[in-house]
């Protein structure tokens, strides 16, 4: 694999039939069925689930899952794979200084090459830990490299260019001219929507209110209406940010602003929502609004703990995400879902949130939160063959009388991940990447980080 000429590997739809044999399927279907069964994937989808001993069709691959759990692949509804190079380079800061002093200057140093290898490094970590789908907020400079990385990684992904045109502390390289930013988002969106055999989809990614002018939001609303693309943004993350929004927007907070600007009419997915109130939730549109919970990021940047009982109680689906390597430090969805559960126990009491609830944030509910509920997020016939096979051989996975959902949510980890399949293609086999070359990615990432630091002028130890 050479720089940004990703592997011409089999695409979903071209992968041979795949028989996952001998596992215990934790399906996360509406009934939360757990069943010992084989699973047959054809043309990238789950063709059938049934009692053991299917006769595999001619040319089928068999994946041994005996003694293992088989789950739907995990879904992270909010990530920044373009920030993976910046792990640990913005420590001990609250949100706004974290962005202004470190993250934006570093992002301003990206080009397509560095963004590509940042994305590949993040994608490798996602796949090795069982994440099969991400919704990525994208980049300004380097947006194309990020999209090419997602295309080549094998992940299922929703993404687009990150839109910014103004704001205190925003470096010049991120401050794009409004119409040019919208035009670039539209042309990249059109190019990558449906790419990689349909694994990629387009979302519009305005960064947040503090870096997007009124004309930019109006352009985003118009583009969303015309193209049918959802809007994915950050909102109601930290009190400091909401106070700045109120100062900037004449006393209005994010929900006031989105309501008046018609953004709430669109399919709107917000990351964080820590500051959401019951009053806000009376105004959002059912079926067109979701929240992606990022618990580690919210703790690390001092933002607080989202009230998932309030949000889910209002009928709003909640997904989960690691956010990025500079705020969660890793991209492990298992850690995020366990942390989410423990924080809700702290906030609402231990009876308020189950292992099944936690798993749903990263699977079936997480899929609905990003508009992919019909496509992925559970093991059901007709859905995409996106799955993860977990070993049960480690001592902490012992629990013969434990509810499987509790066992998985509170005890499983990425150390248990054995095989990972996206759209019927085996991307991790026996704990090793099949499509991506981790040694090459690491060495390219080393060079990419040095190049970004050179261009950005950010000094790190
Ligand atoms: Zn984010």
Gap from CA of 96 to ligand 1 centroid (Å): 12
The predicted model gives 139-152 an average pLDDT of: 98
pLDDT for residue 10: 40
Which residue reads 């913005």 in tokens? 90
The predicted model gives 49-55 an average pLDDT of: 78
pLDDT digit string, tens, across residues 115-139: 999 999 999 999 999 999 999 999 9
* 413, HSE (Cβ side, Cα atoms, 13 Å): 8
Which residue reads 């910046």 in tokens? 86
Rounded CA-CA distance 267/287 in Å is: 8
Rounded CA-CA distance 434/428 in Å is: 6
* Strand, helix or coil for residue 70: strand
pLDDT-based confidence at residue 1 (cuts at 50, 70, 90): very low
Which residue reads 């960064």 in tokens? 207
Gap from CA of 270 to ligand 1 centroid (Å): 9
Gap from CA of 327 to ligand 1 centroid (Å): 9
Gap from CA of 143 to ligand 1 centroid (Å): 15
Gap from CA of 20 to ligand 1 centroid (Å): 35
pLDDT-based confidence at residue 212 (cuts at 50, 70, 90): very high
Gap from CA of 455 to ligand 1 centroid (Å): 23
pLDDT-based confidence at residue 29 (cuts at 50, 70, 90): very high
Pair 199, 206: CB distance under 8 Å: no
pLDDT for residue 421: 98
Q: Which residue has the higher pLDDT, 58 or 126?
A: 126
Gap from CA of 93 to ligand 1 centroid (Å): 15
pLDDT for residue 51: 81
Q: Classify residue 66 by its DSSP letter.
A: T
pLDDT-based confidence at residue 57 (cuts at 50, 70, 90): confident
Rounded CA-CA distance 69/440 in Å is: 31
Burial 449-459 (b: 16+ CB within 10 A, else e): bebbbebbebe
Tokens of 200: 């990629």
pLDDT for residue 383: 98
The predicted model gives 30-50 an average pLDDT of: 96
Farthest-apart Cα atoms in the chain, separation: 67
Burial 345-375 (b: 16+ CB within 10 A, else e): eebeeeeebbbbbbbbbbbbbbbbbbbbbeb
Gap from CA of 399 to ligand 1 centroid (Å): 36
pLDDT for residue 12: 46
The predicted model gives 258-265 an average pLDDT of: 97
pLDDT-based confidence at residue 4 (cuts at 50, 70, 90): low
The predicted model gives 244-264 an average pLDDT of: 98
The predicted model gives 247-274 an average pLDDT of: 98
Q: What percent of the chain has pLDDT over 90?
A: 94
pLDDT for residue 5: 54
Rounded CA-CA distance 334/322 in Å is: 10
Gap from CA of 6 to ligand 1 centroid (Å): 26
pLDDT digit string, tens, across residues 293-312: 999 999 999 999 999 999 99
Gap from CA of 257 to ligand 1 centroid (Å): 20
pLDDT digit string, tens, across residues 9-20: 444 447 899 999
The predicted model gives 325-341 an average pLDDT of: 98
Gap from CA of 443 to ligand 1 centroid (Å): 26
Helix H, strand E, coil C: the string for 292-310 is: EECHHHHHHCCCCCCCHHH
Gap from CA of 234 to ligand 1 centroid (Å): 6
The predicted model gives 193-217 an average pLDDT of: 98
Query: What pairing do the DSSP bridges indicate for beta strands 205-206 and 289-293?
Result: unpaired
The predicted model gives 99-121 an average pLDDT of: 98
Gap from CA of 267 to ligand 1 centroid (Å): 18
Rounded CA-CA distance 61/59 in Å is: 7
Pair 331, 122: CB distance under 8 Å: yes
Gap from CA of 245 to ligand 1 centroid (Å): 17
pLDDT-based confidence at residue 55 (cuts at 50, 70, 90): confident
* Strand, helix or coil for residue 74: strand
Gap from CA of 95 to ligand 1 centroid (Å): 10
Please, what is the angle between helix 178-192 and helix 143-153, to 10°? 20
pLDDT-based confidence at residue 8 (cuts at 50, 70, 90): very low
* 180, HSE (Cβ side, Cα atoms, 13 Å): 7
Q: Classify residue 113 by its DSSP letter.
A: H
Pair 130, 73: CB distance under 8 Å: yes
pLDDT beyond 70 at 214: yes
pLDDT beyond 60 at 168: yes
pLDDT beyond 90 at 3: no
Gap from CA of 174 to ligand 1 centroid (Å): 16
The predicted model gives 175-191 an average pLDDT of: 98
Which residue reads 């509810």 in tokens? 403
Tokens of 366: 């997480």
The predicted model gives 219-227 an average pLDDT of: 98
Pair 266, 224: CB distance under 8 Å: yes
Tokens of 123: 């994608």
Gap from CA of 199 to ligand 1 centroid (Å): 22
Pair 281, 255: CB distance under 8 Å: no
Interior angle at CA 95, CA 246 and CA 205, nearest 5: 75
pLDDT beyond 80 at 52: no
pLDDT for residue 2: 40
Average pLDDT along the chain:
96
The predicted model gives 140-167 an average pLDDT of: 98
Query: What pairing do the DSSP bridges indicate for beta strands 268-272 and 289-293?
Result: parallel
pLDDT for residue 461: 81
Interior angle at CA 191, CA 189 and CA 192, nearest 5: 70
């Amino acid at each position: 694999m050479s720089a940004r000429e990703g592997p011409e590997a089999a695409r979903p739809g071209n992968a041979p039939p795949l028989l996952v044999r001998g596992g215990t399927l934790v399906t996360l279907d509406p009934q939360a069925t757990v069943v010992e069964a084989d699973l047959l994937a054809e043309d990238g989808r789950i063709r059938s689930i049934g009692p053991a001993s299917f006769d595999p069709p001619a040319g089928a691959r068999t994946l041994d899952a005996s003694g293992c759990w088989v789950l739907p692949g995990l879904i992270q509804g909010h990530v920044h794979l373009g920030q993976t190079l910046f792990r640990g380079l913005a420590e001990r800061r609250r949100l706004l200084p974290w962005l202004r002093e470190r993250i934006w200057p570093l992002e301003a140093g990206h080009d397509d090459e560095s963004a590509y290898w940042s994305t590949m490094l993040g994608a490798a970590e996602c796949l090795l830990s069982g994440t099969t789908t991400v919704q990525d907020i994208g980049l300004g400079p380097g947006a194309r490299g990020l999209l090419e990385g997602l295309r080549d990684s094998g992940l299922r992904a929703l993404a687009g260019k990150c839109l910014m045109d103004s704001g205190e502390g925003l470096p010049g390289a991120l401050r794009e001219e409004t119409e040019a930013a919208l035009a670039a988002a539209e042309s990249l969106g059109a190019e990558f929507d449906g790419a990689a055999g349909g694994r990629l989809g387009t979302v519009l990614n305005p960064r947040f209110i503090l870096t997007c002018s009124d004309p930019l939001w109006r352009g985003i609303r118009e583009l969303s209406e015309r193209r049918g693309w959802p809007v994915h943004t950050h909102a109601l993350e930290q009190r400091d940010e909401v106070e700045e929004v109120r100062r900037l927007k004449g006393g209005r907070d994010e929900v006031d602003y989105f309501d008046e600007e018609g953004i709430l009419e669109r399919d709107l997915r917000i990351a964080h929502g820590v500051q959401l109130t019951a009053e806000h939730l009376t105004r959002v549109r059912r079926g067109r609004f979701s929240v992606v919970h990022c618990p580690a990021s919210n703790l690390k940047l001092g933002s607080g703990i989202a009230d998932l009982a309030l949000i889910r109680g209002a009928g709003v689906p909640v997904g989960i995400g690691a956010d990025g390597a500079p705020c969660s430090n890793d991209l492990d969805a298992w850690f995020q879902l366990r942390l989410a559960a423990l924080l809700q126990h702290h906030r609402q009491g231990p009876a308020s949130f189950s292992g099944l609830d936690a798993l749903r944030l990263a699977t079936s509910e997480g899929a609905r939160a990003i508009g992919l509920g019909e496509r992925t997020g559970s093991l059901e016939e007709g859905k995409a063959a996106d799955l993860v096979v977990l070993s049960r051989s480690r001592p902490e996975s012992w629990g013969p009388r434990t509810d499987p959902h509790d066992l998985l949510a509170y005890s499983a980890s990425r150390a248990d991940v054995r095989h990972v399949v996206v759209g019927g293609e085996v991307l991790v086999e026996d704990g090793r990447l099949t499509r991506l070359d981790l040694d090459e990615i690491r060495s390219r990432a080393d060079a990419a980080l040095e190049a970004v630091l050179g261009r950005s002028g950010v000094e790190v130890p």
